[in-house]
Chain A
Amino acid sequence: MTPSTDEVIVVQGPLPDRLRNREAAVAVPADSAAAAVIQPAAPATTPRHRFTESFILGPVWLAARGLWYLFVVAAIGELVGLVTAGSAIRRILAGTPGGPALLVLGIAVIVLLRTAFAIIAVRPRLLQLASHDDAAAQQRRRMALGTTVLVVAYVLTLWRFLGPALWQPLTTFPAPPALAPQVAKAIDAAVKWAIVSFGAFFEAIRFCVFWLLTGIEAAFVVTPWPVTVIFLLLIAWRAGGLGVLAFAAGSLAYLGLFGFWEKSMSTLALVATSVIVCVAFGVPLGILCAKSRRSNAVIEPILDVMQTLPTFVYLIPAVAFFSIGKPPGVLATVIFAMPPMIRLTSLGIRQVPQTVKEAALAYGAGPLQLMAKVELPLAIPSILTGTNQVIMMSLSMVVIAGLIGAGGLGLDVIRALNFLQTGQGFLAGIAIVLMAMMLDRIVRGSKNAGRGRRQ
């Protein structure tokens, strides 16, 4: 049903509105193919008119008003209805039972959908939609786009579900068969070349990490356990008071009683090493990100990759570059855990109030003084949050690092997994959880203690 120009003009409402409608109706070029569907979309008419026009146009009505998200939802819903109705017709023609019921279902879906959107059209406030009765030309452009999308989507989908076999490239994406293997091979070659050419470089990194780790591990593992316990408890108490002290004591008791002491200390050493590396590189990089828009633009996507690339993907080259053992475990952990350090440092520095920085400049601060005496101190809470994140993420990497021989608690989890020892697996898992919580409480406690100083 397409209301004629007369109907558009004869609307209720104050005179100015009617005049506007007449102008809008006249403004539509009568010869254009779209004219038939354009007219209903002319500016505000009565609610009943709006209801009818949006019911009839369906998704196209939404498209005309720029409600593209609703347009997609409506189109998908209608496609479900259309496919259902179409397959029902096929059944009826073939004489298979259940056809009429399906047909009713399919038509009902379409009618219900259109009614729902027509109600929205009449009462746009239901969805907090702004009024989208824009200029007729813009509506026409949107309508053309919406109609095109609908036609392509409907024809292809209905054909796929109901018609004869479709041209194959339309059903499966036409991927050139050689592309992926060739690129993968090229990456292999590049990695191999890098291993050969920069062997010394990777060996140097491995060496540094190894000695850092060995030193820390010696401190944790070789030191008699009562000494370690005393120091850890002292730190816990200073940072978070008696509550954290009690929690730490309980956790350490668990680690000792279930025979995880040595392994947990070795894990702790791994975590400590990765935290040191993350802070040592993350804080300067975070400062760089905060200060230079260009470096931020470069570093930001790299951080996204580091955070989302599945660990196993870089675990393989890590083994290739650094062989197995603890150093590649630490490095894989660092890759995974460093992004929040950089991000939170940068955030902390960027959120230092401009007024405070200006005050420091007005009293003669140079760039380095500004950084050391104003920006970094004010970013400390954020940096500590980053450190906390690094610890948590490092601990969650411990298990995966165990796969490439990083030892510690991760090894126990991996072994339990291999031998299907559910009980052993749980015990080791809980040990990791307790350690994580203990460290978390300590770091958070020290952050609060820093703030408490002021009260």
Chain B
Amino acid sequence: MVTRPKSRLETLSERVHHAVMTGTATIECRNLYKIFGPRPKEALAALRENGLGKPDVKAKYDSVVGVHDVSFSVERGEVFCIMGLSGSGKSTLVRHINRLVEPTAGSIFIQGEDIGLKSRRAMRKLRAEKIGMVFQNFALLPHLNVVDNVALGLELRSLPRDERIATARRKLALVHLSEWDEAWPEELSGGMQQRVGLARALASDPDILLMDEPFSALDPLIRRQLQDLFIDLSRQMRKTTVFITHDLAEAIRIGHRIGIMRDGRMVQVGTPSEIVNRPKDDYVKAFVQGISRLTILAAADIMEPLGGDDAALAAEQHWPVRRPTALLDELIDLTAESDLPILISDGDGKPVGIVRRRVLLRSIQGK
């Protein structure tokens, strides 16, 4: 099981806030709207001013609201997951970031630059050099072999053949496909094809990765393997990533923060533990219900305040002691071996809370 750097958990929201305020966010979307249909501007006005809902816009303007007033930002090196059911607008949203889809309103900043102002040529350069994208259906070019597929972005930048092949081979090694460089895409299994897709996205060493449900089309075992591979690579490379998924468990495994989308709106943004602990509405609650909390919740999320003589009692009975960042998984190990409560103390050894068996069990249940 992969564990996230624990210190990140609590401070990330603050750091993102800081990043946005100081303009160091890698990706920032401000009040994005995307409306598909014959009269997007009118539909937009209706949406903004009259507060029409998605079905009203469909009925009145024959337009579909893809993205509805979405703002978020992604810090450098952060993995930001966007979770939602199909049709919630998440794939449309991610295509705004490299302008495969033009917003109806709103703006997108990448490393501080408004990409809406960029020329086509500049936009192509940005896509080729700074953004790698992975697709749900792999989208490999069937007439190119594996290594040429990986080198696609480099070829489009007209790099010399030797150079791009050498780079492509290095990236193939990262995804453990060195042996398959001369194979054709159709000869590979789905999981292998997506590893090629991942290598292709990494080929030009971009700052940003856009992952559009990359593992959804794979069977569960392979999906797990690829998630691990991705988490591994992501830790090494620290690419700023926007990761689309319809699976909250996947989002929790992979993301530093998660944005939950519904009907084109971003319903809630937060760290996995924020989402699981404090779902904003019933929609999010329904998703969170089935999620295992063992590796999401930490002692700090569930601990109770110390009673008057708890500290003395703890010292006397030799209660086990853990930091506030200890995950439920670890606390369960302790509770399974002993009947004593667990004392939670901070970095300086000062007791800050207590976790008793009842609280622990209830929080596993999600109550």
Bound pair: A and B? Answer: yes
Residues of A within 8 A of B (CB): 353, 355-356, 358-366, 369, 373-374, 377-378, 380, 454
Q: Known contacts A355-B137, A358-B100: does B143 contact A363 (CB below 8 Å)?
A: no
| 9 other A-B residue contacts (CB within 8 Å) besides A360-B156, A363-B156, A378-B141 | A355-B135, A356-B141, A356-B142, A359-B133, A359-B141, A362-B127, A364-B125, A364-B153, A374-B141
Chain A residues with CB under 8 A of B233: none
Q: How far is the CB of B143 from chain A (nearest CB, A)?
A: 5
Closest to B154 in A: A363
Question: How many angstroms between the C-alpha atoms of A119 and B38 in the bound complex?
Answer: 49
Chain B residues with CB under 8 A of A366: 120-121, 124
Chain A residues with CB under 8 A of B100: 358, 361-362
Q: Known contacts A363-B127, A363-B153, A364-B127: does B133 contact A377 (CB below 8 Å)?
A: no
Q: Known contacts A358-B135, A359-B135: does B141 contact A364 (CB below 8 Å)?
A: no
**Interchain Cβ contacts under 8 Å between A and B, 29 examples:** A353-B139, A355-B139, A356-B140, A356-B141, A356-B142, A358-B100, A358-B135, A358-B139, A359-B133, A359-B139, A359-B140, A361-B127, A362-B127, A363-B127, A363-B128, A363-B133, A363-B152, A363-B156, A363-B204, A364-B124, A364-B125, A364-B153, A364-B157, A366-B121, A369-B156, A373-B155, A373-B156, A377-B143, A378-B141
Asked if A356 contacts B155 (CB within 8 A), the reply is: no
Residues of B within 8 A of A (CB): 98, 100, 120-121, 124-129, 131, 133, 135, 137, 139-143, 152-153, 155-157, 184, 186-187, 200, 204, 210
Q: How far is the CB of A346 from chain B (nearest CB, A)?
A: 19
Which of B98, B100, B141 lies at the interface centre, i.e. has the most chain A CB atoms within 10 A of its CB? B141
Chain A residues with CB under 8 A of B135: 355, 358-359
Chain B residues with CB under 8 A of A361: 100, 127
Question: How many angstroms between the C-alpha atoms of A240 and B220 in the bound complex?
Answer: 44
Question: How many angstroms between the C-alpha atoms of A355 and B193 in the bound complex?
Answer: 14
Question: How many angstroms between the C-alpha atoms of A362 and B120 in the bound complex?
Answer: 13
Chain B residues with CB under 8 A of A363: 127-128, 133, 152-153, 156, 200, 204
Asked if A362 contacts B143 (CB within 8 A), the reply is: no
Chain A residues with CB under 8 A of B184: 454
Contact of A378 among B133, B143, B155 (CB under 8 A): B143
Q: Known contacts A358-B135, A362-B100: does B142 contact A378 (CB below 8 Å)?
A: yes
Asked if A454 contacts B124 (CB within 8 A), the reply is: no
Asked if A365 contacts B156 (CB within 8 A), the reply is: yes
Question: How many angstroms between the C-alpha atoms of A351 and B184 in the bound complex?
Answer: 20
Question: How many angstroms between the C-alpha atoms of A273 and B157 in the bound complex?
Answer: 38
Chain A residues with CB under 8 A of B152: 359-360, 363
Question: How many angstroms between the C-alpha atoms of A353 and B136 in the bound complex?
Answer: 14
Question: How many angstroms between the C-alpha atoms of A380 and B143 in the bound complex?
Answer: 10
Question: How many angstroms between the C-alpha atoms of A361 and B102 in the bound complex?
Answer: 14
Chain A residues with CB under 8 A of B143: 377-378, 380
Contact of B128 among A355, A356, A364, A373 (CB under 8 A): A364
Closest to A357 in B: B139
Question: How many angstroms between the C-alpha atoms of A240 and B242 in the bound complex?
Answer: 49
Chain B residues with CB under 8 A of A380: 143
Question: How many angstroms between the C-alpha atoms of A369 and B153 in the bound complex?
Answer: 11
Chain A residues with CB under 8 A of B204: 363
Question: How many angstroms between the C-alpha atoms of A353 and B139 in the bound complex?
Answer: 9
Question: How many angstroms between the C-alpha atoms of A454 and B98 in the bound complex?
Answer: 33
Chain A residues with CB under 8 A of B200: 363
Which of B143, B153, B210 lies at the interface centre, i.e. has the most chain A CB atoms within 10 A of its CB? B143
Which of A359, A360, A374, A378 lies at the interface centre, i.e. has the most chain B CB atoms within 10 A of its CB? A359
Q: How far is the CB of B142 from chain A (nearest CB, A)?
A: 7
Question: How many angstroms between the C-alpha atoms of A454 and B149 in the bound complex?
Answer: 14
Q: How far is the CB of B214 from chain A (nearest CB, A)?
A: 13
Question: How many angstroms between the C-alpha atoms of A354 and B345 in the bound complex?
Answer: 56
Asked if B141 contacts A360 (CB within 8 A), the reply is: yes
Give 5 closest A-B pairs by Cβ, nearest first.
A364-B128, A359-B139, A363-B153, A364-B127, A362-B133
Closest to A363 in B: B153
Chain A residues with CB under 8 A of B139: 353, 355-356, 358-359
Question: How many angstroms between the C-alpha atoms of A223 and B344 in the bound complex?
Answer: 96
Question: How many angstroms between the C-alpha atoms of A366 and B156 in the bound complex?
Answer: 8
Question: How many angstroms between the C-alpha atoms of A360 and B128 in the bound complex?
Answer: 10
Chain A residues with CB under 8 A of B126: 364
Q: How far is the CB of B176 from chain A (nearest CB, A)?
A: 22
Question: How many angstroms between the C-alpha atoms of A362 and B157 in the bound complex?
Answer: 12
Question: How many angstroms between the C-alpha atoms of A355 and B141 in the bound complex?
Answer: 10
Question: How many angstroms between the C-alpha atoms of A454 and B120 in the bound complex?
Answer: 35
Chain B residues with CB under 8 A of A373: 155-156
Question: How many angstroms between the C-alpha atoms of A366 and B125 in the bound complex?
Answer: 10
Chain A residues with CB under 8 A of B128: 363-364
Question: How many angstroms between the C-alpha atoms of A365 and B139 in the bound complex?
Answer: 14
Question: How many angstroms between the C-alpha atoms of A66 and B129 in the bound complex?
Answer: 61
Closest to A378 in B: B143
Chain A residues with CB under 8 A of B120: 366
Asked if B186 contacts A454 (CB within 8 A), the reply is: yes
Question: How many angstroms between the C-alpha atoms of A454 and B188 in the bound complex?
Answer: 12
Chain A residues with CB under 8 A of B137: 355
Contact of A365 among B124, B133, B140, B186 (CB under 8 A): B124
Q: How far is the CB of A260 from chain B (nearest CB, A)?
A: 40
Q: Known contacts A378-B142, A378-B143: does B155 contact A362 (CB below 8 Å)?
A: no
Q: How far is the CB of B218 from chain A (nearest CB, A)?
A: 16
Question: How many angstroms between the C-alpha atoms of A362 and B203 in the bound complex?
Answer: 13
Question: How many angstroms between the C-alpha atoms of A78 and B82 in the bound complex?
Answer: 68
Question: How many angstroms between the C-alpha atoms of A358 and B139 in the bound complex?
Answer: 8
Chain A residues with CB under 8 A of B125: 364
Question: How many angstroms between the C-alpha atoms of A395 and B137 in the bound complex?
Answer: 44
Question: How many angstroms between the C-alpha atoms of A369 and B127 in the bound complex?
Answer: 14
Question: How many angstroms between the C-alpha atoms of A366 and B157 in the bound complex?
Answer: 10
Chain B residues with CB under 8 A of A369: 156
Which of A356, A366, A380 lies at the interface centre, i.e. has the most chain B CB atoms within 10 A of its CB? A356
Chain A residues with CB under 8 A of B153: 363-364
Chain B residues with CB under 8 A of A364: 124-129, 153, 156-157
Chain A residues with CB under 8 A of B210: 362
Question: How many angstroms between the C-alpha atoms of A361 and B99 in the bound complex?
Answer: 10
Question: How many angstroms between the C-alpha atoms of A380 and B141 in the bound complex?
Answer: 14
Closest to B130 in A: A364
Closest to A454 in B: B184
Q: How far is the CB of B156 from chain A (nearest CB, A)?
A: 5
Q: How far is the CB of B36 from chain A (nearest CB, A)?
A: 15
Q: How far is the CB of B212 from chain A (nearest CB, A)?
A: 9
Q: How far is the CB of A179 from chain B (nearest CB, A)?
A: 44
Chain B residues with CB under 8 A of A377: 143
Chain B residues with CB under 8 A of A362: 98, 100, 127, 131, 133, 210
Closest to B120 in A: A366
Chain A residues with CB under 8 A of B121: 366
Question: How many angstroms between the C-alpha atoms of A361 and B141 in the bound complex?
Answer: 12
Q: How far is the CB of A364 from chain B (nearest CB, A)?
A: 3
Q: How far is the CB of A71 from chain B (nearest CB, A)?
A: 36
Closest to A453 in B: B184
